[in-house]
Amino acid sequence: MAFTIDGPYVKGVVQSINHQSDTAFYNNWGIAPLPAGPSGAHYSVPSDHQLVMFANTPTADRQAAWEFMTWLATSEYAVVNYTIPYEGSIPPLAHPTGAVAKQLDNPIAQEFIKGVIPTVITPDWGSQYSLAYLDVMAAIQQAMTSSSPIGSIASSLQSKLSTDLAGQP
């Protein structure tokens, strides 16, 4: 069975269902970049999770909000105790050390860091992105949970995306 994922957090999802040990999971599951397109290059798009402070945040709260976001994204304690185990996310650290590096020392995280992250591009999302996103997610759910032929799902999705993205550059 093969399917694509947009992050290394699938490990937690799968283990919450099948209760596999880490060793069994690593023996049964892997990660790889999406197949190359006609250009021969592999491309992925980010499934970023942002921390946001809105422009209208009261001045008195801005410093506290900034300190919290900085701590959540870079503190070894926060990354080791929240970002990796609960979010299943790769922390925004170019060169993790200590306990963070230890938690990322597994086949899934390492392949994601070395094999998938280098393929990530930032597309021109455009104003129609939310329409396309909903259709793509619905098609993925249909492929994973129904017996509908993949070709039929793909054809229907292509038609919807052509409508969703009409007029986009």
CA angle 43, 44, 47 (to 5 degrees): 165
Exposure of 98 in the CB half-sphere (CA atoms within 13 A): 8
- 0.75 surpassed by pTM: no
Determine the 3-state secondary structure of 96 from DSSP. Answer: coil
Q: Which residues does 17 contact at the CB level (< 8 Å), separation at least 6?
A: none
For 137-163, how does the pLDDT look when each residue is reduced to its tens digit (9 = 90+)?
899 889 888 899 999 999 999 999 988
Q: Indicate the average pLDDT of the chain.
A: 84
* pLDDT of 1 higher than 50: no
For 102-139, how does the pLDDT look when each residue is reduced to its tens digit (9 = 90+)?
988 988 888 888 888 888 888 777 777 878 888 988 99
